[in-house]
Amino acid sequence: MSFSPPSELSISAATKEDCSTLLMLIEGLAEFEKLSHEVKATPQKLEDTLFGDNPKAFAIVARWQGDPVGMALYFYSYSTFLAKPGIYLEDLFVLPKARGRGIGESLLRHLASLCIKEDLGRLEWSVLDWNKDAIRFYERMGALPQDQWTMMRVTGNSLLELGDLPSSGASS
């Protein structure tokens, strides 16, 4: 099966100048997931974490006829069993008006190609269980659900409490 991205589509690594665009896409994703109230990102925070001295994540932007219509935000993970890094796709989003044009598939293929070029062990992500369209889309791309795993998260006050470990008594 051969895939050719549409000629009207370009995908490139995000730059500092894309931070406002990324925020717009993040806000669109949050609205779709009914989580707008959780967005704390700002263009400056994105610039600091994506383009600072020690980037913590990376992004690619999809443009249709020059207009930004989608993004994938990812970071490097590590598999102890494979003894190889991989890519964890934090967010993939295509504006509703631009869906059905192969943009999401092109973003995923771009990341898969990056995995191959960098000899990474895997590309993985999470999907909301209620998003049946996304699940079907990902399965068509060859993704397999990992039903034996439960994602865990510590955030907010729980993170503050967990991180406030008592002193071990050892002097430094």
Per the structure block, which two tokens stand in for 70? 């989608």
User: Can 78 be counted among the known catalytic residues?
Assistant: no
* Residue tagged 């191959």 (tokens): 116
From the list 74, 78, 88, 138, the catalytic residue is 138
**Residues with a known catalytic role:** 138
